[in-house]
Chain A
Amino acid sequence: MIEINNLKKSFGETEVLKGVSTIFEQGKTNLIIGQSGSGKTVFLKCILGLHQASEGEISYNQKPLSQMTEQERSLLRQDMGMVFQGSALFDSMTVEENVMFPMKMFTEAPSDEIRERANIAINRVNLIDANAKLPSEISGGMQKRVAIARAIVMNPNYLFCDEPNSGLDPKTAILIDNLIQEITQEYQITTVINSHDMNSVMEIGEKIIFLKDGEKKMGRKQQRNFQNRQ
């Protein structure tokens, strides 16, 4: 579970997040929606610790991020998986090497075991015959699958996705959405997705927060009305 309390973030004079509070529950697909420039990505990067929040508190399983030691933060990061908007695959590595990368970095497992676990993750996202290919040689949808495989290979407790559907055709977007939801339920992880795709919201959103101009505009109650309207 991730608890966010009165999160504020400014860049110079510009206040991007104006006190957002929410809870992301375990085993659920939590969605952050809003227009471009509403502060979704900054919000996600603050939760990940890539941006330092100007004010407010973020807690992982009731442990505030600000009170964690460097080592605790490092361990927490190994418990997170992230799917970036542009997939962020390492372009000098093959698909298999990309997925193996977190395990090579943080485990002492023998290379055969690492390869085996990477292939389990690759199979889980239904990627076939792509192991030896470079990211530039596969489609956008396949790149997203590789990014998901890399994110889940360490069996994380938290999965973050920034616009996982961006740049994909509607059919592939639905496949990616469903894949993320299945993985969330299968691994019982806390998944947080940034999206502006309303189909995603309708399909997989179990908890939705709506950001507008850096403020949370819609909570759980409104969410139901919102869904009824749709």
Chain B
Amino acid sequence: MIKLLEHIGRYFIMLQKTFGKFTKSSVLKKLVVREIDDLIIGSLGIVAFISFFVGGVVAIQTAINSDNPLLPKYLVGYATRQSIILEFAPTFISIIMAGKVGSFITSSIGTMRVTEQIDALEVMGVNTYNYLIFPKIAAMTLYPFIIVISMFLGIFGGYIACITGGFSAHADFVEGLQLDFNAFHVTYAFIKTFLFAMLLATIPSYHGYFMKGGALGVGKASTTSFVWTSVAIILMNSFVTNFLLT
């Protein structure tokens, strides 16, 4: 327990130092662009692929499990929309990103630690927290755009799966998508997406920055980072949902 508190304390000190002495803006700008390319653009393909097919599966399973004449036909479209906007796109994709982006962040910073590149930066007088972590936080502010794409492709995948599989008619599915639309659900999804983005940028950075050992340590830190980022996302999801939707 004391060790956990020590980690939490060190994590918050890291965040404070990240927003301390800033790196020269011309250098920082290039770093942010590189991180956007690595973390955001580089994740689009896998997010699109997973969203499209999981959206299809969600719609098919809803259709199969609601095959009852008493249930309205628009239910498939409605349930697909709700599950994708409220949970699948923000939370499920974030857990996947904890593996993809999180491992990348931990291993890249961890490798810099092992090869003394972080020490080299410190000797030069660079605020290594700001230089290494801030660009990742800045890049991850664009993370909601990934989730928008995921929402769209998830619903589109559900639509294609239902129409081509004969589980729902076009009109029924679209009626379900439009039924009882609550704009606050989208706001709620984006609030938690933004919070997850901050967790995705900072927890893996923490594990990379403070890792110990050699190459084996980098692998171990990446795994630990994935576990703790996932735990933090699930806990944050529960907290935000209780706070905003109940």
Contacts and interface: CB of A to CB of B under 8 A. Distances in A.
Interface string B104-125: 0000000000011101101111
B24 interface: yes
B126 interface: yes
A86 B125 contact: no
A85 B24 CA distance: 28
B64 interface: no
A102 B115 contact: no
B27 interface: yes
B116 A85 contact: yes
Contacts of B124: 77-78, 80, 101-102, 105-106
A82 interface: yes
B23 interface: yes
Among B115, B117, B124: residue with most chain A CB under 10 A: B124
A88 B125 contact: no
A77 B124 CA distance: 5
Given A78-B124, A78-B125, A105-B126, A86 B27 contact: no
Interface in A68-125: 73-78, 80, 82, 84-86, 88-91, 101-102, 104-106
A100 B23 CA distance: 16
A75 B21 CA distance: 13
Contacts of B26: 104
Contacts of A104: 24, 26-27
A30 B86 CA distance: 65
A147 to B, nearest CB: 8
Interface string B59-70: 000000000000
Nearest to B123: A82
B115 A86 contact: yes
Contacts of B21: 74
Interface string B7-26: 00000000000000101101
A108 B122 CA distance: 20
Nearest to A81: B123
A69 B122 CA distance: 16
A206 to B, nearest CB: 23
A88 B126 contact: no
A134 interface: no
Contacts of A89: 117
Contacts of A85: 116
A48 interface: yes
A103 to B, nearest CB: 10
Contact of B120 (A76, A84, A106): A84
A128 interface: no
Given A85-B116, A88-B117, A105-B24, A74 B123 contact: no
Interface in B123-146: 123-126
Contacts of B122: 50, 77
B126 A84 contact: no
Given A84-B119, A86-B115, 9 more contacts: A50-B119, A73-B125, A77-B122, A77-B123, A80-B123, A88-B117, A88-B119, A104-B24, A104-B26
List 8 tightest A-B contacts by C-beta distance, closest first. Answer: A77-B125, A88-B116, A88-B120, A82-B123, A84-B116, A74-B125, A78-B125, A88-B117
10 contacts: A50-B122, A50-B123, A80-B124, A82-B120, A84-B116, A84-B120, A88-B119, A104-B24, A104-B27, A105-B126
